[in-house]
Structure 1
Amino acid sequence: MTIEKIQQGDQLTMSKDIVADNIEKLKQLFPEILTEGKIDFKVLKQVLGEEIEEEEEYYRFTWAGKNRARQEAHKPSTGTLRPCKEESVDWDSTKNLYIEGDNLEVLKLLQKSYAKKVKMIYIDPPYNTGKDFVYKDNYKDNLGNYLELTGQTDSEGNKLTTNTESDGRYHSNWLNMMYPRLILARNLLKEDGVIFISLDDNEIENLKKIGNEIFGEDNFVANIIWQKKFARANDATYFSTMHDNIVCFAKQSINSNKNSGWKLNLLPRTLDDAKGYSNPDNDPRGVWTSVVLSAKSGSDKLKYKIISPSGRESYPPDGRFWSVSEEKLQSLIDDNRIWFGRNGDGTPRLKTFYSEVQSGLRPNTIWFHEEVGHNQEGRQEVKSLFDGKGYFDGPKPVRLIDQILKITNSENDFLVMDFFSGSGTTAHAVMQLNLEDGGKRRHIQVQLPEATDEKSEAYIAGYKTISQIGKDRIRRAAQKILEENPEKAKGIDLGFKVFKLDQSNINAWDGERDNLEQHLFNSTESIKEDRTQEDVLYEILLKYGLDLSLPIEEKIIAGAKVFNVGFGAIFICLEDKITKQVAQGIGEWKQELNPETCRVIFKDSGFTIVEKTNSLHTLRTFGINEVRSI
């Protein structure tokens, strides 16, 4: 038994390799296409037969840079997410995450840990109005570009910029930003998951097209019109724009898959929904309304005569038929479900009881501001949390996200994600709804630390980035919930763990001759000098595909700190002086917890050769055979 060493650049120190994963799936389906470890595309074409489009002219949607954008979605990231406990709330107990960084790289890093685990994604991306475009991807080195643009490395004058119409690739730039992110987002959705995307009319046609391509046309659910304003703008050039769009795609819709597609949850009924119902005959089943008893189509058997209690004869209107047979009609009359009017001489109608209709309402595709709020309401919500200061432009109202959460699923323990988090409305809505119904919904927020305007109220108040506003908004919203509902809020997760995107904690080998001596020195220490054990711990979780909110317990064993992740799934020790006594303590801890599987990860330079051999032997006696080192 030997310890396999983990090095920067191997599979464990990179995010999920989606290309390799897709190739493996193809190999499982068509093993004959594999030749000497490569895919034989000619054989694949033969296997697929005539279901291949090879003509130059066919229906498709393309733009400048599309191929590179697609490739970028499948390229692994070598970055990591570093924990930031000092900015977090309830670090040890919360299952919510707030990740600060470029969402393209963050989505890549989450592929292993959260693939097919997210129930609902809501995003409010840049609308491409010419003033709000800040995601200038550099496909050569996205991570390095991000660190440079946010001032985390030496700058060469690059800045976050807008995407104006004078740019020759105005729409292409926006599409290249959205395309890889939506590909990665789809991977994170559960098979019955759903995504909602807010947008105005600038890019709505393009969004629908790339959405159809990524999710499939059959999985387009709806384009919801949200009335974001309630006052007419008479200074508009043409029409007063009152709405935004919210485009909805399912991972799998019930149209494409009857068994496992997304099933919409009905909206709860209110007393207002009972308007139009009454009970003029004092029916013990409660209030009811009546509907016509005729139908557009039928057979001659459904054109019979009906005699009312007063003796009046009724027939279906010209060109129509009764909707039930004579036998069925008689059973309905016997059950007091046919209404002939107060005097018993009216045209027969079928009674429909309020108590027997669906338990909820199907949402319309037009959402009025009275139902779900408007832009001004969203601004007032933020102001109320920041002592009347308007630190954020255009936040969505909590009621809007609340409605999306309610129709997503009737269960109350699903995972919600927003990777254009902005002011944090999605996190606020999750906490508020959990308070209302006792739910256990979790959320993941991702936000670029985009700089605030130096002349803005936010900057003057000390908020240098949008992410600082977002984190503080969630803290303040949680505190308000706790103060207003001290007893009810006790069981609600009002915290969040903060992580920040950065380069890997593990030193990479670089053979440049100019710095050879320094690199040789660094190669003896695999972990970077400015990184903590917790930094490395969470990178290991990411690369092993483990949830970042897993319970982690610390224990000092023979003078060394040991992390226990997931009740014994992984034991990690990153100390400098590791002995067989540490291995003995880990083995005993493992026996106490009795996990189904167990692996151990050590810091490679923390061993002497003798202690490494002894530790391996000790661990083996406890049934631990998977041991790796960094």
Structure 2
Amino acid sequence: MDGKSLTPQELKLQQLKKILPEVFAEGKVDWEKLKATLGEDINFANERYVLNWAGKSEAFKVLQSPTTKTLVPDKEESVNFDETKNIFIEGENLEVLKVLQKSYFGKVKMIYIDPPYNTGNDSFIYPDKFSETKAEYEKRVGDKDEEGYLTKDGMFKKNSKENGQYHSNWLNMMYPRMFLAKNLLKQDGVIFISIDDNEVHNLRLIMNEVFGEENFVECITWNKRIPKNDKGIGNIHEYILIYVKDSSLKHEFIMRKEGLNDIQKLLTKLKNKKTNIPDSEKEIKKLYNKNGYDRGITLYNSLDTNYKLWGKINMSWPNANTFGSRYEILHPKTGKPVNVPDRGWRWKKETFDEAALYSDGNYQNIIELQDGSLMCGRIWFDKDENTQPSSITYLEEVESFLLRSIISLKSDGGIEVEKLFEGKSYFSYPKPTTLLSTLIQSFPSNDEDIILDFFTGSGTTAHAIMNLNKEDGGNRKCISVQLPELTNEKSEAHKAGFKTIADIAKERIRRAGKKIKEEIKEKKTTKEKEIEDLESQLDIDGKDDKINNLKAKIEKLKNQDLGFKVLKLSNSNFKQWQQIKNNDAKALEEQMKMFVDPVSENATIENMVYELLLKSGKDLNSTLRQAQGYIVVNNNELIFMLEKATQKIVDAVISEQPQKVIALDRLFKDNDQLKTNTSLQMKDAVIEFKTI
């Protein structure tokens, strides 16, 4: 274990070796064998379609270089550290993505990022001169002030439009991050990227190169409804690019209709107050008018006796060039035939009869509504035969439709953040949680699915995930990554004690979690009241199922994860071998002395545990059990021996029957016999044993 992360090319080679082992010779790719196996010539002609820019080769070098960095836990800044599975990582995101490669390779279901738009006023990290060496770049990226905060003068470079490599700098920043991000996605994963017109064209090109043009899904136009008037025109939109990892898998993106939560709150209130149906319908229409919902909502404006909204759907044949079935339908009250549409009926007679509960010449269940109209099963009739009947569809049956290529949402991310911070504006132009919720819900996700945001900003993604989990009982997990970028000393945020953007994001997530916890209490109380009401009623179809369903929802609400682990990017806990220049014997001797004990002076047991988890490919939510003298990972998958080694401890470790044991070499100092015996015992027990 050399302390370095696996590079993207090493991971790709491992994958290729699994699929095509025959094209490898002495551990390396035999290109002639590869060409023969694939049955095609590889075209190396100079003239071909290719995306290029100043510094692309340097971007590749940055991408391909491993990192020796690690992540160290910060329990004081965390919320419910030992139980939560949400993660907040503070650090430069390129290095963080490299650190996560082994542990989270192919494990992330969805990525959302809101990177710098390259407006000419953005500051971000990029090599500011292409002659800059990797060592120089890393030194600059590590620039910190006396208190340990990253400095704008060192790490960040302003990318003004006057810069001759204005677009190239942005591409050099984005390219390696997109490459590493793709590695983390599951095979059925998706990435959403917010962008505006400054770089949408270039982003599309690099995404086509990294993800493959065939994996492009859509360029969503987000109508943010807050005009920006710096071009002599009211610019009210941005873009969201969508790419999937593998387009050969079936992907369907859906969108929940806007306003459903507000509508459900009103219906629950009306039902609890036992408001009569006509007055309840008036209240519903008032809400519709107030919020200006589209027809996908307003069509559903009638209530049944259970306060469920339904709407009338036209039964005329929809195609102007053909004709539907023509048959006689009798009105259930007058017994006379209703008017037949000019182009016939949408349904066949058998389908209509089944929906209307019509058999043996009679309607089996006729319900007269307050206005004198009639419901027969799933068919609505007016008072007499002069109006064509309609089919009945409930709003709860059509809450979603395919995600639209234009999204308009009535919400303001800035106001959301201000409400959490007593009206103070600490962050400019945060995305609204409704936008993130729309994107997250558009893509099917299961419990425990991971959503990653490595340009976290104010923490909108984490906030949106907690909100969504509260609403639908989900258990999505979030990994947020944010640079500890200094806030402006003159800003309200800095004056309030938020020295970095990461500080704002962490506090926002804490406050959002507290607010959602209170909302969960209210929701739980409402559902308990619904159970009481159901239990007090006698003749209700499916009563037990409804009660059990409500109890299951209450249980999910109880188990909501509103915490987050804070981890910070840091230097390795283990000393790194440095290249010796000019065969300097003295420098070599000093380095050899240093490596008598490879553990860094400031290393702690806990910090070493998390570094070894990452280096071993275990995720940051691995279960840890502290035993006498060792630490057990994930029910004996792995054991760390980091404190001491005795024969008794070795015997105890072997009795756990782990798959692998990692021990510090210094534990066996001056006791070679114990080390040799331990190695032999582990081998006999078929346990992989490594020392560092």
TM over 0.5: yes
1:3 matched to which residue of 2? none
Corresponding residue SS for 2:168: helix
Match of 1:363 among 396, 403, 421: 403
**Pair 332,541 (structure 1): closer, same or farther in 2 beyond 3 Å:** closer
Q: Is 1:609 the equivalent of 2:672?
A: yes
Shift of 1:358: 3.7
Q: Is 1:64 the equivalent of 2:54?
A: yes
1:186 matched to which residue of 2? 182
Unaligned residue ranges in structure 2 (runs of 5+): 264-287, 289-295, 331-335, 359-375, 525-556
Match of 1:425 among 460, 483, 492: 460
Corresponding residue SS for 2:577: coil
Q: Output one character per residue of 1:251-276: Cα deviation in whole Å (capped at 9) or x when no partner.
A: 234xx323xx4664755856565533
Match of 1:120 among 93, 110, 128: 110
**Distance in 1 of aligned mates of 2:467 and 2:383:** 48
Count of residues in Structure 1 that have an aligned counterpart in Structure 2 = 590
Paired letter, 2:675: K
The answer to whether the 8 Å contact 1:98/1:499 transfers is yes
1:249 matched to which residue of 2? 243
- Map 1:172-571 to 2 at 5 A: 172-230=168-226, 232=227, 236-253=230-247, 256-258=248-250, 261=251, 264=254, 266=256, 271=263, 273=296, 275-277=298-300, 287-291=310-314, 293-294=316-317, 296=319, 344=385, 351=391, 353-354=393-394, 357-358=397-398, 360-370=400-410, 373-374=411-412, 378-409=413-444, 411-482=446-517, 485=520, 491-510=559-578, 511=580, 513=584, 514-557=586-629, 562-571=630-639
Q: Is 1:580 the equivalent of 2:647?
A: yes
The answer to whether the 8 Å contact 1:251/1:262 transfers is no
The answer to whether the 8 Å contact 2:101/2:184 transfers is yes
**Distance in 1 of aligned mates of 2:652 and 2:478:** 36
The answer to whether the 8 Å contact 1:118/1:190 transfers is yes
Bigger shift: residues 52-61 or 603-612:
52-61
Shift of 1:315: 8.3
**Distance in 1 of aligned mates of 2:619 and 2:85:** 9
Q: Output one character per residue of 1:263-313: Cα deviation in whole Å (capped at 9) or x when no partner.
A: 64755856565533578999xx994423364354878xx588666767899
Corresponding residue SS for 1:172: helix
Corresponding residue SS for 2:615: helix
- How much identity, in percent, do the aligned residues show? 39
**Distance in 2 of aligned mates of 1:468 and 1:355:** 42
The answer to whether the 8 Å contact 1:293/1:349 transfers is no
Match of 1:44 among 28, 34, 41: 34
Match of 1:85 among 75, 83, 97: 75
Match of 2:661 among 575, 600, 611: 600
Shift of 1:53: 4.5
**Pair 491,327 (structure 1): closer, same or farther in 2 beyond 3 Å:** closer
**Distance in 2 of aligned mates of 1:44 and 1:36:** 14
**Pair 332,316 (structure 1): closer, same or farther in 2 beyond 3 Å:** farther
1:626 matched to which residue of 2? 688
**Pair 359,227 (structure 1): closer, same or farther in 2 beyond 3 Å:** closer
Q: Output one character per residue of 1:493-512: Cα deviation in whole Å (capped at 9) or x when no partner.
A: 22222222223222123345
Paired letter, 2:142: L
Shift of 1:629: 0.8
**Distance in 2 of aligned mates of 1:155 and 1:524:** 35
Q: Which TM-score applies when normalising by structure 2?
A: 0.75
Bigger shift: residues 383-392 or 539-548:
383-392
**Pair 483,139 (structure 1): closer, same or farther in 2 beyond 3 Å:** farther
The answer to whether the 8 Å contact 1:420/1:447 transfers is yes
Corresponding residue SS for 2:666: helix
**Pair 54,522 (structure 1): closer, same or farther in 2 beyond 3 Å:** closer
Q: Which has the higher contact order (CA 8 A, sep 6+)?
A: 1
Q: Which TM-score applies when normalising by structure 1?
A: 0.82
RMSD, matched Cα: 3.7
**Distance in 1 of aligned mates of 2:686 and 2:145:** 43
Bigger shift: residues 542-551 or 611-620:
611-620
**Distance in 1 of aligned mates of 2:494 and 2:565:** 24
Q: Output one character per residue of 1:542-591: Cα deviation in whole Å (capped at 9) or x when no partner.
A: 0111011112122334xxxx21211222111222x522122123234x1x
Shift of 1:97: 1.2
The answer to whether the 8 Å contact 1:84/1:497 transfers is yes
**Distance in 2 of aligned mates of 1:554 and 1:280:** 58
Shift of 1:619: 4.5
**Distance in 1 of aligned mates of 2:301 and 2:514:** 45
Bigger shift: residues 606-615 or 110-119:
606-615
**Pair 461,275 (structure 1): closer, same or farther in 2 beyond 3 Å:** closer
2:142 matched to which residue of 1? 147
The answer to whether the 8 Å contact 1:250/1:262 transfers is no
Corresponding residue SS for 1:364: coil
